[in-house]
Each structure stands twice: as C-alpha cells, then as structure tokens.
Amino acid sequence: MKLHRNLVFATIDSLHMIFNEQKQADKVLRNTLKRDKRWGSRDRSFIAETTYDIVRWKRLYAEIAEVKEPFDRPNLFRLFAVWATLNGIKLPDWKQLEDTPVRRIKGRFDELSKIRKYRESIPDWLDELGEKELGKRWDKEIAALNELADVVLRVNPLKATVVQVQNELSDLEIETETIPGSPYALKLKERANVFSTDAFKNGWFEVQDASSQLVAQLLDPKPGMRVIDACAGAGGKSLHIASLMENKGQVIAMDIYENKLHELKRRARRDGIHNIETRVIDSTKVVKKLIEKADKVLIDAPCSGLGVLKRNPDSKWKMDPEFLEQIKKNQAEILDSYSRMVRPGGELLYATCSILPSENDAQIKAFLKRDEGKEFSLVKDKKIWPSESGFDGFYMALLKKNDAE
C-alpha cells in the first residue's frame, strides 16, 4: 500500500481532535471526510479505518512508541508509524516519519502482547474491573470487543422483504447474508456505504446491530398495544417495535434529549411509520401521567457501553470508575421510576449494551428485592456475549407485573 500525504495528514488531524480535544470519533470523522470532494470511497475508508484503528489500539501503540498524552503532532506521527509498521506498510521518506525504529517496534509489540492490558489496549482500572466481574471470561470478551464491527441492516417489513433488500443491494454489488435467529437482519459481506442507496432513502432498512435487534424481538409487541420506549434516544428500537406492530396501536418514545426525538421523527417519516408519538421527559409529570398505562415498557438503560466497544473504541478512553458508579445509580433510579408505567399483567424489558453483571443481572436482582419491584417477576433474561455471537454485547431481562387482585 502506498501512503498518500493528504490522507495521512487528515488522519493525524482527526486523531488530534479525538485525543487532545476529547471530541467524539464518529463526529470528527464525519467532518474530516467532507474536507476534500476529490476523495473517493477508498480514500475515505483509509482515513476512517486508520483513525479508528489507532484510537482502538492507543495504549498499545503509545507504549510501543514511548509517547505520552497529550500527543503533539510529532507524537501522533509516531503512533501512525507504529500502526503502519505493524500493518506491514512501507514508510515513505517524509521528514515526519524519519528515524522510525521498525525492528524495535516489532520487538516491543511481541513483548507487550504478553500483557493483557497492553495487548487489548485498555486502561488499568477497566482491565481490573473486567477481571473482577467476569473472571476468566474477560480475556475472550475484551479480545472480541477489539475486533472490527460488522455492518448489519434491519429490514423494515412495512416497506420491503428481506429478499427484496438483498436483491436491490446485490444489483449495486453490495452482497449480504442473513443471520440465524434475526428474521429481519442482513449482514454486509464487505463494508459499503449503504446510506447513499435508494433502498435506504426509501426506508427499506435501517442500520442496527444484530444484538440490538433482539431487544424488540424479546419484547414481542403486538398490533394494537400501547408500548413505551422510555429511553428512546434516536429511536432505532422504537422504529423496530412500531414495524412489528404493523403501524397499529401506539408507541410512545420518550427521552430527556429533545434533539434525539427530532431525529426519530425524521427516521419514522422515511420508514413510513405513523404510530410513534414522542414525549420529552422534562419533568416528573411526564412519567406520572402514564402510570399503569402501558402494555409493555422498554427501558433501554443508559450504560457504560462496554458491549459496543467494537463500534465506539474511543469510549474506553472517556470512561472512568466514577462515571460507571453514577451510571449504575441512574439505572436503579430509572428502573424504580419508569417501571410504574407498566399496567397490571403487563411486561417490562430492561436492556443494556454492557457485559458487566453489575449493570445487568445484579440490577434486576436488586430491583426485584426493592419495594418498587415487588410486583414484578423475572420471565427470562438473555446475555449476548461478543465472543460467542460475533456481534455487540447485550443484556436483556423480561419482567412481568402481577395482575391486579
């Protein structure tokens, strides 16, 4: 592979913003990739994939390059030189890359790969926590979370069938395969920009990981029900729920962020969905008005996001123990408050994209012991391990509320 100066410099600029200005990786790349209209899809994927790679392996590469944060430009070039060397790419004779100790880099890599926190490139506290909560399992889960995430589509049955979407994309030389156990999922065999296709613009599919698609499946909403998605965000799961309800009944999508609900409305229009109503949680009244009014409530709880490190590798550098403790408190409060919206005989589904028991089954066990959870019983729960599924790490627990006496 021949390195092009403008693409490497764009990568270095992106890394500077992510590491030194604490900007979100996906937002940084969205802006960087708009910089030069002459860049083709290969150029853009070089910048995006290289940036994400260096973000993912920041700790390992910094240790090999013997550089510390904050990274100045020469240090960012050193990180880049480590990436290129380990990927077998010949370094050009640019002044930024001169005197790169290629043999030493390979030797240091072999040496550091024997130590998990460097090999998997994670902070000490996270490595200790993972081992404490998951024991031997932590080794294979953190390794799986460092693999590149697949692109998975969720077909919208209101607009198209799985076969129609497959054929439409195949005509554009985008090949897909179905995923056992996920009736509406299609996995791309190779990465491609699906957002520019007519099928996407016409609402035939959304991009949603296979694990995330199992949430609405487990909730099993039926046409005509009233279902509340209590932490809807931009609404991937609300849209899935509405499509399973065949546009009949009501989905109330709630969130504390109004801008995310605006995005949900836009997506719903594209998908031909009109049974979603959005409500901003701007006071306790919003939840109070809905006490015992829902057949089913989904709490897709805020969490550490540890299960989705594949697609958000920068989040492991932004997390810290205090953040995690606060998140766990929030989860308990949300469970206590939002569970009240379930009618007698109705169901509550608690879900996170985390693999830590303290955010998952431990939260459910504690909730069932508290007064707020005493009317509920566990129907079933499901742990999705990245090392076994190949997809994101998820937890979901389905609870049933006792019928009224």
pLDDT one-digit tens code per residue, 151-195: 999 999 999 999 999 999 999 999 999 999 999 999 999 999 999
Q: How far apart are CA 314 and CA 303, in angstroms?
A: 15
- Read off the pLDDT of residues 198-239 as tens digits, 9 standing for 90 and up: 999 999 999 999 999 999 999 999 999 999 999 999 999 999
DSSP 8-state symbol, 38:
T
Q: Give pLDDT, residue 200.
A: 98
Distance CA 203, CA 216 (A): 18
The whole-number pLDDT of residue 109 equals 98
Residues 90-119 have a mean pLDDT of 96
pLDDT at position 404 is 76
Beta bridge partners of 222: none
Instruction: Report the percentage of the chain scoring pLDDT > 70.
Output: 100
pLDDT digits (tens, 9 = 90+) for 237-288: 999 999 999 999 999 999 999 999 999 999 999 999 999 999 999 999 999 9
Nearest Cα to Cα of residue 238 among 204, 278, 209, 187: 278
Share above pLDDT 90 across residues of the chain, in percent, rounded to a whole number: 99
> What's at 103, amino acid-wise?
R
Give 350-360 pLDDT, tens digit per residue: 999 999 999 99
Higher pLDDT, 404 or 108: 108
Mean pLDDT of the region 119-144? 98
H helices present in 22-161, as ranges: 25-32, 41-56, 58-65, 73-86, 102-112, 116-119, 124-134, 137-145
Give the span between the Cα atoms of 288 and 294, in whole angstroms.
Answer: 12
Instruction: Outline where DSSP puts E strands in 166-216.
Output: 176-179, 182-188, 205-207
pLDDT in tens, 56-94: 999 999 999 999 999 999 999 999 999 999 999 999 999
Residues taking part in catalysis:
353
Cα–Cα distance for residue pair 30/75, rounded to 1 Å? 24
DSSP assigned state of 89: P
Count of residues in the chain: 405
Q: How far is CA 351 from the centre of its chain?
A: 13
Instruction: Place 315 in a pLDDT band, splitting at 50, 70 and 90.
Output: very high
pLDDT band per the 50, 70, 90 thresholds, residue 96: very high
Q: What is the model's pLDDT at position 405? A: 66
The dihedrals phi and psi of 301, each to the nearest 5 degrees, come to -70, 145
- When pLDDT is cut at 50, 70 and 90, the band that residue 304 belongs to is very high
The average confidence (pLDDT) of the chain is 97
Say how far apart CA 48 and CA 51 lie, in whole Å.
5
3 state DSSP class of 282: coil
